Structures are given as C-alpha cells and as structure tokens.
Amino acid sequence: MNAVLELDAAAPTSLSTLASWVEEVAALTCPDAIRWCDGSQREYDALLAGMEADGTLIALNPDTHPGCWLHRSDPEDVARVEHLTFVCTRDAEAAGPNNQWMAPDQAHGKMDALFAGCMRGRILYVVPYCMGPIDSPLSRCGVEITDSPYVVANMRLMTRMGAQALQRIEREGHFVRGLHSLGELDPDRRFIMHFPEELSIQSYGSGYGGNALLGKKCHALRIASWQAREEGWLAEHMLIVGIENPQGDTHYIAAAFPSACGKTNLAMLVPPPAYREAGWKVWTVGDDICWMRPGPDGQLWAINPEAGYFGVAPGTSAKSNPNALAMIQRDTIYTNVALTDDCQPWWEGLDDRAPAFDWQGRPYDPANGPAAHPNARFTVAARQCPSWSPRAEDPQGVPISAIVFGGRRATTMPLVFEARDWRHGVFVGATMASETTAAATGQVGLVRRDPMAMKPFCGYHFGDYFAHWLSFDEPGARLPKIFHVNWFRKDADGNFLWPGFGENLRVLEWIIARVEGRVGAEDGLPGFMPLEHHFAEGLGVDPDRVALALQVDQGEWAIEQRAQDQFWAESRDRSARFDASAPSSEGEEATEL
Ligand code: OXD
Ligand code: MN
C-alpha cells in the first residue's frame, strides 16, 4: 500500500495542528503503522481484501450481490449504547437532563487510560472526511482516527472521505477530532464521549455504526447541534425528501422520526400506481440527518451531511422499500444479517425463503431467535438509490417547505395534523413520543418522549435546544409549516389502521396542499386536522378505518397531555420558559383557505 507510513515518517499534510494531533494519538495508542486514507477505490479494494483475508468480512454471492460483503459484529456490540454515551461540558447544566454528563478532565483521564497502548499490533488509520457536499458553505469537516478497517470502509461509503476532504480541512485550518478504537470490544470498557467545547469525540470499545462511524451521530448530530446553536443553524435527525407533483414542482420536506421508525422507507418512497401514472415523483436527498440554515430569502435551506445510508435491514422488502432493495443488490456492506444456503443476505420480512445461517453464523434454528439481528444494517453509497436526488450535491442545499414530526404510537396520535404556527410546531416536536425500537440497547416497545427524535443525539440542554428552535421565528423568516404524522396507529385488535409505505404519499400530498394554501383544515385537539383529502380514495382500505386513524380520542388526549406535563416537569428550569409559552389546545381559530 502506497499510503502506509512508518511512525516517524512525515505526515502528508501541511496542517501542523493535524499532524501533531496524529503524532500525539500515535504516541498514546502505539500502533504498528499509520495510514492516511485518500478515499481512492484502490485503497477501498485493498481494505476489503485485507478484511476478507482476516475474516472480518465474508464475500457474498457474486452472481446475485456483486461487490457485497457481510460483517458479523461481536454479539455484544450490535447497537448504540446510550447509557455509555456522555456529553462532557465544563458546566454540567449545559449538557442538560437529556444527556449523561461527565467532567471533561475526568472523561479525558478515563479515556487516556483506555487508549494507552490500545493500537499495538494494529494499524492507525487517519480518515479525513467532509459532512456535506465538498464545496458547500453548510458542510463541516472532521478527521477520524480509528484502528478498525471496517470503520474506514463504512466511512468511505457514508461521507465524502479522503484527499478532497483533507484539502478543505487544510484550507479551513480546523476540524472536528474523532478518536476511535475497537479496544477489546468489552461492554465494560466502552464509552462514547463528546467534548463539544473542544469539538472532539472519543469512542472506545465498540465497532457498531452509531458508536464508531464518528461522522454520523457523534459529529453530524451531537457536536453539530452544539455548533449549530452557536452559529445560528439546526442539525437535526431528519430525512429530506423531494416530492414532485404532476406539474413538475418539487417541495422538499424534512421529517424527524425516532430510530427504526421508517425514515429510510419514507425518504425512498415509491408512489402508488395511480400517483405514478399521474406524474408524481419522489426524490431522496437524505434518510437520517439534515442540516438547515436560514437563507437570505428567509427560507430554511438544507443539506444532507451524509453521502450514504446506514439502514436497518429487517423489514426492508419489495413492498416496504423497493428502491432500497434495488440499491443494496451491489457494492454494499451488510452487518449482522442472516445468510441463505447460497450466500445471499437475508432478514426477517425480506421474503419467504428459509435462511441457512443466522447473524452469528450458526445454522439457523428459530429457537435462537430471529435469523438476522433486529438491528442488522446495510451500508451503501447514496447515489446507488434509484430515487437519489442530484440536489443532494447542491452546495446551496434545498429549500424546506414543511417539517414533519412523527413517532410510533399504537394509540392517541392521529394519522396527521398541522401545528398552528411555528411556536406551536416547536411544541409539537418537543413533546413527540414513540415506542422504543431495536436501534438502541434496552427494552423495545416502551413509549418514551423523544423530542424532535433528538433524545439520543442533542449535544446540549433540551431547554436551550427548544429556545434555539423558537429563535428562528423572527421578522423576515419564511419558515416551513410544521406537521405531525403517525403511520403506526392500531385498532383494538392490534392491527394497523393505515397501510403506510408508498401510501404515505397521500398524507404528504395533503401536507403540500396545506403548504400551498389549497385546502382547508379544522381546528382539533392537537392542531389543524384534514377536512378535504384523498387519503381513502382508491386505497382499497375501508374508509372507516382511515377515519379511525384520523380520529383523536378526548380521553387518550387528556392522558397524553398529563404525560407531556410530566416531561416538562422533568426538564424543568431551562424548559420552563418554553412550557409557559406553549399554546393551549383549545380556543384557536381554524385556518381559513
Ligand atoms: C441510526 C439510528 O442508525 O438512529 O440512524 O440509530
Ligand atoms: Mn438515525
């Protein structure tokens, strides 16, 4: 490999702060060699070949899945670990009740002890990356140091990684510092530490995506949310999707849902046949993270800082997400999926074939649980998606017409409603809740408050975060309308009331009609509710079930409001100023056309 350097060789960068940081880290971690990654195909191929040789990756069936690989993680290292994730600010209050806090000195002491000598026998990779289009003023850069070639390969798919990013970093002179080691993969020696004041991240003891691909949750959400507050923008856990109507006009919608609630599916939605024939098109800009900033025209302009998708495999099928299925047929890294007997990737919900091996490589036995881990993932370059939007590369970003919040709620929350104004919309996002999923360790299926789907990702005090959101409502602002959706409402027998997937376009159509001021709404308990809509037209679902999905039950709503009050009480102090200003759900005027 041309880029392998001995420890004492000169670093290939003109930026002395970067060169000296790499030297310091090498002195602490004692790697056998240092490799500066250039992001080339050659480098990527060599990394994959090395991982195949040492068993880190298994080549999948080259006829059905060319260029695809399977990685089996340590069985104890399969999801984000919120209980081991910390925000380390000088002032404990700044991290807020929504984060675990540790004093920076204490955290550094702990992490230095863990990192000491941890790369002996390993290669230290230096991974310069850019979050966002390489020439966008909205983008931000970082450098991740890691001893995991799996992380390097994933970072190449997920970010603009390598020589061009390094050039931008050298030009700008600053970058977010991320230090990662697999360590021993011991859950008792695992920490994910964030130092927003130092713009740095330290992650030890996990190879799992959200803990180890530091550009993603750690940088693009926790650190970026802190930077965004200081600089007047928003770093959000949102997909970005463009909806093109038959007249050729495209509206961009940003939508926040908690992990594993169908963000990727919504971002890649395939219109139902009647909509497709009428000329509706869907364009995927991003499936997980959205950075938004007010433009000179007062609108919010957004970029997807990522260049790839790290999606949940189970449940992905020709029905739920045909675009995703098409894009992961080639050049994809799978993690913790099952295998068929001819070495094709398989997971629950894909099809009715029988798997041969489970995610741990054991002959499949239903007594051992699901064949694929419920949080099994695929990593793939965004451009491979058939609905990929070329606007994902636009340095100016895309203008956002609507913001949608949503959660997984069996009861209470209707299919859709609109917030009365920005202030109310912030309240709706702040009080959002969802049933927990397998994307994080812990019990699945509990309703928890997850404001703006940022509970695990906001790098500072939620009270300050809500205040930051409110601050965008200023003279001259042309802010998006805010909506709330729930695709997951169930009837008394536990069956979903709404078919979801491609049919969700019907709800997005109503949202766009509201944005354009073309349809009326009535004021209901949660906000403005649909009057005219096409939700049930030609849907093949009993319209009474759709009506039930749209309904708000007074008793359930009262319980919801008590739960919201309890949430505000927990985040008292800084959120109090916001709580006091929250609109009541009664006495507002219905919107006129
Ligand atoms: C993700 C998550 O991986 O939210 O996107 O957990
Ligand atoms: Mn996510």
pLDDT at res. 349: 97
| Ligand 1 atom with minimal separation from the 80 CA | 6
Q: Is the dihedral of CA 428, 226, 175, 122 positive or negative?
A: negative
Query: 439 CB under 6 A from ligand 1?
Result: yes
Does pLDDT of 168 surpass 70?
yes
Distance CA 519, CA 144 (A): 49
| Ligand 1 atom with minimal separation from the 310 CA | 3
DSSP class of residue 21 equals H
| Ligand 1 atom with minimal separation from the 456 CA | 4
pLDDT tens, residue by residue, 18-77: 999 999 999 999 999 999 999 999 999 999 999 999 999 999 999 999 999 999 999 999
What value does the mean pLDDT take over residues 114-120?
98
For residue 440, give the nearest of 78, 15, 42 by alpha carbon.
78
Query: 80 CB under 6 A from ligand 1?
Result: yes
Query: 542 CA to middle of ligand 1, Å?
Result: 34
Query: 164 CA to middle of ligand 2, Å?
Result: 26
User: Residue 309: which pLDDT band, with cuts at 50, 70 and 90?
Assistant: very high
Distance CA 131, CA 220 (A): 7
Does pLDDT of 580 surpass 60?
no
Question: Catalytic pick from 37, 130, 261, 458?
Answer: 261
For residue 446, give the nearest of 456, 438, 436 by alpha carbon.
436
Run of H or E including 254:
strand 250-256
**What mean pLDDT value characterizes the chain?**
93
pLDDT at res. 378: 98
Ligand 1 mutation target, pool 81, 287, 288, most atoms within 8 A of CB: 288
Ligand 1 mutation target, pool 208, 217, 312, most atoms within 8 A of CB: 217
Environment class of 2 (CB within 10 Å of its CB; exposed 0-12, middle 13-18, buried 19+): exposed
Ligand 1 mutation target, pool 73, 80, 336, most atoms within 8 A of CB: 80
Distance CA 62, CA 52 (A): 14
Query: 259 CB under 6 A from ligand 1?
Result: yes
CB atoms within 10 A of CB 123: 18
Q: What stretch(es) of the chain map to CATH 2.170.8.10?
A: 309-384
pLDDT tens, residue by residue, 62-99: 999 999 999 999 999 998 999 999 999 999 999 998 99
Query: 114 CA to middle of ligand 1, Å?
Result: 26
Which protein residue has the closest C-alpha to ligand 1 atom 4?
A: 259
Query: 80 CA to middle of ligand 1, Å?
Result: 8
For the chain, give the number of residues: 593
Environment class of 46 (CB within 10 Å of its CB; exposed 0-12, middle 13-18, buried 19+): middle
pLDDT at res. 576: 43
pLDDT at res. 571: 67
What value does the mean pLDDT take over residues 229-257?
98
pLDDT tens, residue by residue, 501-548: 999 999 999 999 999 999 999 999 999 999 988 999 999 999 999 999
Query: 210 CB under 6 A from ligand 1?
Result: yes
For a pLDDT cut of 70, what percent of the chain falls above it?
A: 93
Query: 461 CA to middle of ligand 1, Å?
Result: 21
Distance CA 573, CA 579 (A): 10
Query: 239 CB under 6 A from ligand 1?
Result: no
pLDDT tens, residue by residue, 259-271: 878 899 999 999 9
Query: 309 CB under 6 A from ligand 1?
Result: no
pLDDT at res. 273: 95
**Which tokens hold the place of 487?**
């695709």
pLDDT at res. 446: 78
Query: 210 CA to middle of ligand 1, Å?
Result: 7
CB atoms within 10 A of CB 545: 18
What value does the mean pLDDT take over residues 169-193?
97
User: Residue 448: which pLDDT band, with cuts at 50, 70 and 90?
Assistant: confident
Strands 140-146 and 123-131: antiparallel
For a pLDDT cut of 90, what percent of the chain falls above it?
A: 89
Which protein residue has the closest C-alpha to ligand 1 atom 1?
A: 259
pLDDT at res. 532: 86
Does the annotation count 141 as an active-site position?
no
pLDDT at res. 574: 58
Ligand 1 mutation target, pool 259, 441, 458, most atoms within 8 A of CB: 259
Tell me if the domain spanning 309-384 has CATH number 2.170.8.10.
yes
The class of domain 235-307+389-575 in CATH terms is: alpha beta
Q: Pseudo-torsion of CA 293, 294, 300, 306, nearest 10°?
A: -10
Question: Which ligand has an atom closest to residue 441 CA?
Answer: 1
Distance CA 539, CA 527 (A): 25
Q: What stretch(es) of the chain map to CATH 3.40.449.10?
A: 3-58+81-232
Which protein residue has the closest C-alpha to ligand 1 atom 3?
A: 210
Distance CA 424, CA 507 (A): 20
The correct CATH number of 3-58+81-232 out of 3.20.20.70, 2.60.120.680, 3.40.50.12160, 3.40.449.10 is 3.40.449.10
Q: What stretch(es) of the chain map to CATH 3.90.228.20?
A: 235-307+389-575
Query: 309 CA to middle of ligand 2, Å?
Result: 10
User: Residue 408: which pLDDT band, with cuts at 50, 70 and 90?
Assistant: very high
pLDDT at res. 36: 97
Does pLDDT of 570 surpass 80?
no
Query: 310 CB under 6 A from ligand 1?
Result: yes
For residue 127, give the nearest of 53, 178, 181, 186 by alpha carbon.
178
Query: 228 CB under 6 A from ligand 1?
Result: no
Q: What pTM value is reported for the model?
A: 0.94
pLDDT at res. 453: 96
**Between these two residues, 478 and 447, which has the higher pLDDT value?**
478
Distance CA 259, CA 261 (A): 6
